[in-house]
Structure 1
Amino acid sequence: MVNKILKVSVCVIFMASAFLCAQAQKPKEWILPTTPFNETETAKLMEPGTATIRGVGVLKKKGRDNFNGRGGQIILFPVTPYFTEFLELKKKHRGSKKEATMSNDAFTYRVQGRYIDDQGHFEFANIKPGKYYILTWIGYQKTKSKPVQTGTVTSYNVYGYALGSSPIYEDYLYNVDVENELGAFVEVKEAGAVTNVVVSN
């Protein structure tokens, strides 16, 4: 087979989060945490503070570091009993027809951040001491191959009559854009502190 490169851009996104609005081929059964959502306590955790969380989001694949681009999405959640159960449900039902989700009220209590450069750096400022969970999505390119028929070859006997034909295949390579979800816990121990974290696989 002859190796050729076929420039194809295919977008394949693995949605592990209930926050991304996408239609799946098979219907999902959405599972909510049974732990009551305490909005009053969660609101207190989200009050402005003086601490800062700085970090890097990186996806490591085959010895290569992959980063989200400047302006890419990264989210900070306060860790509560409700959110902890949500993460446990996500892990339990990963890859099944069931998928964990949160109530609209619970999802409201988050800090929506963006990457500040193309090297995966981010910062959350004005944070109170406490435990948080950082959630992000980082993509990478995966190369796949596919045999494609490009012609046929015909065999003849000594009299010039065709005996039969067989296909000719060439191996075409194409890139698939894959997006992975990453998450990490981080604890801010005191007011005014600068806490560093790496969100990676």
Structure 2
Amino acid sequence: MKEKINVFRINQQAANRIHEVFNKVPHPNQFIFYVVTLMLFIYACNPVKNADRKASRNEIKSIFPTQSFDSLAAKKMLAYGKATIKGVVYKKTNKLAIVNAKRYGYKVTVTLYPATPYFMEYYNLRQEKESKRTKVYISDEAYRYRIEVKTDEYGRFTFDKIKPGKYFLQAIMTTTNYYTQDVEVGSNSYGTRFYEKQRQYESKTHRLEKFVEIKNEKEEVEIVLK
């Protein structure tokens, strides 16, 4: 005698199987999440894309003034005059010290630029946008219109034969501070650590600058770049 077939049980089993398969299909939002995650993983594992991404993060952006540089105006401002600018360059490296707190700039180059509209735009751009990854420059042509002098052992400098007008003075000075620090040099089998004092140093570069205006033909102006 043939075994009776339970149609209801078969239909129930099929329904359960369909339900299991349906549950394994991810929700549309989950599916999108899985795809995006997989794409990011593949992108992160790509060495070329990785290098491009790091280079983009560390890229230095250069900005220049937008207006044209007037070489005739700059040349006219740098023509011979009868005024003088005298100054001194120093940096105070220890604010708490009373003696030997100042480091005078020895053989530091001091540069004088005519404060033309082009240069003023450059300076304003620096104040507004300059950062670690954004640098502001003047053009090579504008850079040629400058006067340079060197400081003596006391940090003094002089610009003579200057015409009345507004100028920008800049000096790049490096200072080095020395100090002693306990440095671990070894240990024994009991775990005792041994130290000795070693001399360390720290160097810093300072951009010292100031605007100067000469109003009279034979005027002598004194300034400090610090």
Cα distance between partner residues in 1 of 2:104 and 2:155 = 5
Q: Percent identity?
A: 27
2:175 is the counterpart of 1:175: no
Structure 1: give runs of 5+ residues left out of the alignment. 1-25, 156-164
Question: What TM-score does the superposition give when structure 1 sets the normalisation length?
Answer: 0.73
Q: Could you say which structure has the higher helix fraction? A: 2
Q: Which runs of 4+ in 1 moved over 6 A?
A: none
2:69 is the counterpart of 1:32: no
2:148 is the counterpart of 1:112: yes
* Aligned partner of residue 72 in structure 2, secondary structure: helix
2:218 is matched with which residue? 192
1:5 is matched with which residue? none
Question: What TM-score does the superposition give when structure 2 sets the normalisation length?
Answer: 0.66
Counterpart code for 1:139: T
Deviations 1:117-170 (A, max 9, x none): 211111001110001111002222224666633111223xxxxxxxxx464444
Match of 1:122 among 143, 157, 172: 157
Give, in angstroms, the shift of residue 52 of structure 1.
0.9
Say how many residue pairs are matched: 164
Deviations 1:77-124 (A, max 9, x none): 111111112122223344421101110110011001111x21111100
Match of 1:55 among 72, 78, 87: 87
Larger Rg: 2
2:34 is matched with which residue? none
| Higher relative contact order (Cα pairs below 8 Å, separated by 6+ residues) | 1
2:94 is the counterpart of 1:67: no
Structure 2: give runs of 5+ residues left out of the alignment. 1-57, 96-100
Q: Could you say which structure has the higher strand fraction? A: 1
* Aligned partner of residue 172 in structure 1, secondary structure: strand
Cα root mean square deviation, aligned: 2.0
* Aligned partner of residue 191 in structure 1, secondary structure: coil
